[in-house]
Amino acid sequence: MSIQTSKIKLSAVEKHFTSARGERQVAVSPLDLEIQSGEFVCLVGPSGCGKTTLINLMAGFEQPSAGSVTIDGRPVSGPDPDHIMIFQDYGLYPWRTVLGNVLFGLQAKGIPAGEARDRALATLELVGLRHAIDKHPHELSGGMKQRVAIARALAVEPSVLFMDEPFAALDAFTRYHLQDELLRLWQETRPTVVFVTHDLDEAIALGQRIVLMAPNPGRIQRVLEVSLPHPRERTRDDFAFFRRELFTEFHLVHQMALQEAEYSI
């Protein structure tokens, strides 16, 4: 473990925002985190604990107020097609077809049309949307839209996938289905995945490591290794063990947050 160099490294990373009224708000207090190449890490925590801020720092949408974020040893200075963000609201282009959306990144890279098309079709095959390539996003269900977004990301062959609550807007059945799909894609293409969720079960189903965060100020409460092989059977006893573990910890975080809120009133 120690010989392996980490893919993503956060050292003493800190982020504060200044509100419109000039108050300084700490979104992420100094924290360290290392993520290995090919690892699947989940960030969980109650809303407002800085999950989005943290993933935005890693993806290059935000710059840290202090400390450093590096990917492959290089400081993250902005968005990069090698590490792609997948959003809860899909971020698809409504005027482009499914195929057109997947082609977007390949066109931006200047890949010749024929090759781009082949690659886009192969990726759409991978996510099971080969039959829907000529549809527009408004004709698709939420789950299909998110699969298009995933295909669009995978088509440019990133080494890291950042996902900020990507399945939060979907119904439970679609969510389970896409979780399994994502695991399959991850096992086939092996990117490093950083996955934000507020759903503890989702984190246990997916993550090799779960980073539990706590609010006020945003920080890491505990890191849990989930030593179960994928795919994980959600009804098994060992799944329930990690579930109990995480829920207990989450309960503590939640109570602390509530108490702090009471004190501050």
Ligand X SMILES: Nc1ncnc2c1ncn2[C@@H]1O[C@H](COP(=O)(O)OP(=O)(O)O)[C@@H](O)[C@H]1O
Instruction: Give, rounded to a whole angstrom, the gap between the first and last alpha carbons of the chain.
Output: 45
In the complex, what is the shortest distance from the CB of residue 143 to other proteins, in angstroms, rounded to a whole number? 16
Considering all CA atoms of the chain, what is the largest pairwise distance in Å, rounded to the nearest integer?
Answer: 62
The site string for ligand X over 9-28 (x = CB under 6 A, - otherwise) reads: --------x-x-----x-x-
The answer to whether residues 224 and 209 touch, using CB atoms and an 8 Å cutoff, is: yes
In the complex, what is the shortest distance from the CB of residue 104 to other proteins, in angstroms, rounded to a whole number? 6
Asked if 85 interacts with ligand X (CB under 6 A), we say no
Asked if 218 interacts with ligand X (CB under 6 A), we say yes
Asked if 114 interacts with other proteins (CB under 8 A), we say no
> Which of Mg ion, other proteins, ligand X, none binds 93 (CB below 5-8 Å, type-dependent)?
other proteins
Q: Give every CB contact of residue 189 below 8 A, 6+ residues apart in sequence.
A: 154, 157
Element spanning 113, H or E: helix 113-126
264, two tokens: 């501050």
CA dihedral sign of residues 126, 148, 96, 156: negative
Asked if 17 interacts with other proteins (CB under 8 A), we say no
Output the CA angle 253-90-31, nearest 5 degrees: 35
> Which of other proteins, ligand X, Mg ion, none binds 25 (CB below 5-8 Å, type-dependent)?
ligand X
The site string for Mg ion over 48-77 (x = CB under 5 A, - otherwise) reads: ----x-------------------------
Smaller CB separation from ligand X, 46 or 142? 46
Asked if 117 interacts with other proteins (CB under 8 A), we say no
Smaller CB separation from ligand X, 6 or 53? 53
- Distance (Å, whole) CA 91 – CA 34: 28
Helix (H, G, I), strand (E, B) or coil at 50: coil
- Distance (Å, whole) CA 178 – CA 143: 7
Asked if 47 interacts with ligand X (CB under 6 A), we say yes
Which residues contribute to the site for other proteins (CB under 8 A)? 59, 61, 78-81, 83-85, 87, 89-91, 93-95, 104-105, 107-109, 136-138, 149, 152-153, 156
